[in-house]
Structure 1
Amino acid sequence: MKNPPSIISRAKYDFIDSSTIEKIESYHSKPILESQKIPLQDPYTLNGQKLRLNFIRQQLKTNVDYLAGDKIFDDNESLKGNIENYIGMSQIPTGIIGPLVINGSNAQGIFYVPMATTEGTLLASYSRGAKACRESGAITVITLQEGLQRTPTFKFKNLIDLGKFVSWVLEHKETFATITRESSNYAILNDVGINIEGNILIIKFEYTSGDASGQNMTTICTDKICKYIVANCPVEPVFWTIEGNTSGDKKATSLTKRVRGRKITAEITLLKEVVQSVLKTTPQLLYRQWRINVSGAVKCGSIGTGMHPANAIAALFIACGQDVACTGEASTAITRIEIDDNGDLYCAITMPNIIVGTVGGGTSFPTQKECLQLIDCYGPGKSGKLAEIAIALCLTGEISIMAAMSAGQFTAAHQKFGR
């Protein structure tokens, strides 16, 4: 192998570059016109559905024939690689919320976000949160890190054998980077980490995966690297497996300081008058509710302090053809709320494990493709945008649910919309 690429360990650190700051500072959101608002009348009638479909077609210039039911999926051959023993499609109600105004490092502008759910009240709550945000300005969103891990695990007879193995592995990092490039058009090996537990060795291979969510891609690359290691290393392990269950794949973990997928942070300062007029509460009550929620999260051993980011992640993932099992890791969130010197409410959310893709997986199926196209997130070069839309959506939901609880509206809202 000649001239292997250097491993760049940028996935280990939070980072904001100057061009991102300039891009965000230069963005100016425009007032939302009446014609840009989603038609809300006739929420449960065929006429209301048609009004919203016509709004999407005319305002967003997007084709939604499969979502509307005008076309039926019949390309069974395209299912290869996605499902076995196919019998048909599960139909989940899908709606849109917005406009959601975002000023991000990848996503900028107004977005009408599709959400698939059977939970009443959900879209109403996120719509209210989005309204409170846009009447206060744009949600600022910045992607801080990217990385996706596989953690193969090796067992040895003793520590001496393990030590010889580790020394050899660390001398061949650049070879592993070359194997990665030869195995995938998108994956890049960014880091190799070592964790030793007696005669057990866990190697963390950390990659970026382009616009794919990347689980299969990183598995294939890691498998080829491990087979190269076992065939060439000076000490053969007693046993090895492709994944030791320490990567955090499809589960909530306590590893909130590192990244899985993308680590992103978002903020908005809600004007006190908007808190009162839209959210029907006060900054003081909402801040008090957040403090209670954080305390409660600590008491119950919750991973993160979010109230329900899993609702946004699951609904968006189902609509947009993502791996819904990744809701387990992707919904990990740290929230922050404080009252500033003007009496306005600063709200922020940081999510270290947003794992999404805009190519591959279920993204090309008809309704999923249409939903991705609604937010201009279908195809190469769009996964960063989708991830930033996801966290902005989560922030609106956190704001809305805490406002409802702080003002005593939570039960009444579910009685009205969820029964």
Structure 2
Amino acid sequence: VFLIQSLGLVLVHAHSRWIAEPAAQNSTVENSVGLDENAPKRIEPNVSLWQFYLSRMASMDIEQVITLGLALLLAVKYIFFEQAETESTLSLKNPITSPVMVQKKVPENCCRKQTGILKTNQKSNTAEEALIPKDESAEVIKPVLAESSTKATFVVGSSSPVETSSYPSGKEEEMELPKEPRSIEECVRILGNAQEGAKFLTDAEVISLVNAKHIPAYKLETLMETQERGVSIRRQMLSKKLPEPSSLQYLPYRNYNYSLVMGACCENVIGYMPIPVGVAGPLFLDNKEFQVPMATTEGCLVASTNRGCRAICLGGGASSRILADGMTRGPVVRLPTACQAAEVKVWLESPEGFQIMKEAFDSTSRFARLQKLLISLAGRNLYIRFQSGTGDAMGMNMISKGTEKALARLNEEFPDLQVIAISGNYCTDKKPAAINWIEGRGKSVVCEAIIPAKVVREVLKTTTEDLVEVNINKNLVGSAMAGSIGGYNAHAANIVTAIYIACGQDAAQNVGSSNCITLMERTGSTNEDLYISCTMPSIEIGTVGGGTNLLPQQACLQMLGVQGASQDNPGENARQLAKIVCATVMAGELSLMAALAAGHLVKSHMIHNR
């Protein structure tokens, strides 16, 4: 190619320059470009082409000599030196071990590797495979590689992403699988063979092994060559049992990192649920700006919260403080008599008893530190509420482990004590409870802001007087009339749940985490500005563990600058996230209350949430 390019350059230059006689140095522009009879003529027919070029070569000027010389030098370089340099570079820096370029390795946690299995894989009767276009599901392109000892298989279409895998040509026959499923005994032998394994089995054969109890259904991901294939096989098995076999058509499962899910977040996986994620902000809190991710399917929620953030920002921002930080676990134990239970209560409340329990509890973790015990009696049952710091983790597993060790130590002091349950609902976790509202659980946070009257009028489209009146009669009196526990707010659970889903929190803990009281007052020199505060005593939240290990959720935590554990001050990231939640709740409260005061709620929902 280089040689052709060089010779082409020479010919084009020669033909364009020699096709005409050089113009005189003193000729005018008009004469040089004119079409008169004195203009240079093209090649005369009576002169042969080679004679013409020889005559021109004999009369070349210096410019033409330099140009042709450079072109010839380039040709010589490409012919005699370029190949040697390339081979030298490859041999020293990138040695080639195969005639074919080494293809990028597909991560094990990515898609199922499509090998020769695809050639003779059984025809699936599941509705899921039937949904895949026939012209795509079986389309295989085999590029022909000269002198190659490997083959690459590319699966094209929506059935799976493009993947490659290579095997020595001598073993190609081993990948030829029968169209009909083999016997159970043969499949068991192949599965247990270290040289073969699950990739030498078709999906139908794997399903037959599951049905025959040779493969536990919950272990499909760990026994297949890729975890995604295990999910795919489970979907095929499930589809046959559903009232509508095509139910899983729009539930995605491909291109997901299941290695972060297995053993941590979910079991019997059949896919993942995409949820829209919006952003509200900037939220100006404690002299910092935050863009808050919110995962929700409720129209108006993100837009309304965004309006509240704007009002807070125009008012100078919000301020927040952490009031308490301690996760709880409340086991129930039983003594032979109520009097003995009372004696245990007295011992636990004594300084020496608490110290013994603390030493046992703290020995289980470098972060868990027992802060206090709250004990209540019901007959001969004793309810002990352990409260402990948990660093940047939400901490339920951490505190449960410490509680178990402390109860074992307590049993040494009182052999007649019987542990009924490690959780006796005295915690209280994922259930409405006055104890969380009064004593707090997780992070207790307060947040406040002042909204100028002009912002109330122009951004919130209402007045301070109307906002205060609606807040009193709705959030305070109305909630009291309903017998609410911790529900003295407009819709704190909306914001808490949206942030929790986006940031990998336990969404069920929105029950206690949404405890909130919203207060509004008139303030300022003219008493027309608005003072608003939100107090949330039980925000159960963390930045490590559980769903925070998943990459999309980590991305949302990184948006807020709180992903992972704080290296400088353990627990600071979780506390910062709790303050962001409280401030965002306040923004949502501000906007919704304004919509109610102005009578805009129904109109906005008819536009954005139908």
* TM-score, structure 1 as length reference: 0.79
**Partner of residue 180 from structure 1, selected from 361, 373, 389:** 361
Q: 2:467 matched to which residue of 1?
A: 286
Among 588, 602, 608, the residue aligned to 1:397: 588
C-alpha separation in 1, matches of 2:426 and 2:342 = 21
User: In the alignment, what sits opposite 1:196?
Assistant: 377
Counterpart Cα distance in 2 of 1:82 and 1:155: 33
- What does 1:218-257 align with in structure 2 at a 5 Å threshold? 218-230=399-411, 232-255=412-435, 256-257=437-438
Asked whether the 8 Å contact 1:164–1:234 carries over to 2, the reply is no
Letter paired with 2:515: T
Give 2:456's match in structure 1, choosing from 275, 282, 291. 275
Q: What's 2:256 paired with?
A: 73
The verdict on how the C-alpha distance between 1:239 and 1:217 changes in structure 2, with shifts beyond 3 A counting, is closer
> 1:13: which partner in 2?
none
Alignment of 1:142-181 (within 5 A): 142-169=321-348, 170=350, 171-181=352-362
Counterpart in 1 of 2:597?
Answer: 406
Q: Distance in 1 between matches of 2:497 and 2:321?
A: 22
Question: Are 1:348 and 2:539 an aligned pair?
Answer: no
Judging changes above 3 Å, is the alpha-carbon distance between structure 1 residues 358 and 77 closer, same or farther for their aligned structure 2 residues?
closer
Contact in 2 for aligned 1:148/1:261 (Cα 8 Å): yes
Matches within 5 A, 1:28-47: none
Which residue does the alignment assign to 2:295? 116
More helix by share: 2
Q: Secondary structure at the match of 2:363?
A: helix
The answer for the alignment partner of 1:373 in structure 2 is 558
How far apart are residue 310 of structure 1 and its match? 0.3
Question: What's the offset of the Cα at 1:239?
Answer: 4.9
- State whether residues 329 and 427 of structure 2, in contact with CA within 8 Å, keep that contact through their aligned partners in structure 1: yes
**Aligned: 1:418 with 2:609:** yes
Match of 1:388 in 2: 579
- 2:457 and 2:285 map into 1 onto residues whose CA distance is 22
C-alpha separation between the residues in 1 aligned to 2:417 and 2:328?
Answer: 21
Q: Kindly tell me the number of residue pairs found equivalent between the two proteins.
A: 345
Q: Distance in 1 between matches of 2:256 and 2:591?
A: 36
Are the structure 2 counterparts of residues 160 and 254 from structure 1 closer, same or farther at C-alpha, using a change threshold of 3 Å? closer
1:205 matched residue in structure 2: 386
8 Å Cα contact 1:113/1:374 also seen in 2: yes
- 1:165–1:233 Cα contact (<8 Å) kept: no
After TM superposition, give the deviation of residue 307 of structure 1 in Å. 0.9
1:270-318 CA-to-partner distances (Å, cap 9, x unmatched) read 1000000000001111111101111111111112311100000000000
Q: Secondary structure at the match of 1:267?
A: strand
Which is higher, the Rg of structure 1 or of structure 2?
2
Structure 1 SS opposite 2:531: strand
Q: What is the distance in 1 between the residues matched to 2:255 and 2:397?
A: 29
Question: Which residue number corresponds to residue 26 of structure 1?
Answer: none
Most deviating of 359-368 and 178-187 = 178-187
Partner Cα separation in structure 2 for residue 234 and residue 130 of structure 1: 55
Equivalent residues in 2 for 1:39-118, closer than 5 Å:
72-76=255-259, 78-103=261-286, 108-118=287-297
**Cα distance between partner residues in 2 of 1:415 and 1:310:** 21
Cα offsets for 1:205-228 (capped at 9, x unmatched): 110111000111111110111122
The secondary structure found in structure 2 opposite 1:144 is strand
338-347 vs 171-180, which deviates more? Answer: 171-180
Please give the per-residue CA displacement for 1:86-107, whole angstroms capped at 9, x wherever unaligned.
111111110111000001xxxx
Q: Paired residue for 1:320, among 499, 503, 510? A: 503
Contact 2:260 2:549 survives alignment (8 Å): no
Deviation for aligned residue 1:159? 2.3
CA distance in 2, matches of 1:303, 1:238: 32
Any unmatched runs of 5+ in structure 2? Answer: 1-251, 567-572
Opposite residue 563 of structure 2, the aligned amino acid is: Y
* Cα deviation digits, residues 245-267 of structure 1 (max 9, x gap): 01121122223222200111000
Following the alignment from structure 2 to structure 1, what is the Cα–Cα distance between the partners of residues 601 and 346?
58
Q: Secondary structure at the match of 1:172?
A: helix
* Percent identity of equivalent pairs: 34
Partners of 1:298 and 1:233 lie apart in 2 by 45
Q: CA deviation at 1:238?
A: 4.7
Distance in 1 of aligned mates of 2:492 and 2:345: 39
Structure 1 stretches of 5 or more lacking a match? Answer: 1-68
User: Residues 134 and 99 from structure 1, CA distance in 2 versus in 1: closer, same or farther, beyond 3 angstroms?
Assistant: same
Partner of 1:139: 318
Q: Is the CA contact 1:349–1:395 (under 8 Å) kept in the aligned structure 2?
A: yes
Match in the other structure for 2:547 = 362
Are the counterparts in 2 of residues 286 and 406 from structure 1 also a CA contact under 8 Å? yes
Higher RCO (CA < 8 A, seq sep 6+)? 1
Residues 432 and 511, structure 2, Cα contact 8 Å, conserved in 1 = yes
For 2:471 and 2:424, how far apart are their aligned partners in 1?
36
**Contact 2:335–2:341 (CA<8 Å) still a contact in 1?**
yes
Amino acid of the structure 2 residue aligned with 1:333: C
Residue aligned with 2:500, SS:
helix
Q: CA deviation at 1:388?
A: 0.4
- In the TM superposition, what is the alpha-carbon distance from 1:235 to its structure 2 partner? 4.2
Superposition deviation, residue 168 in structure 1? 4.3
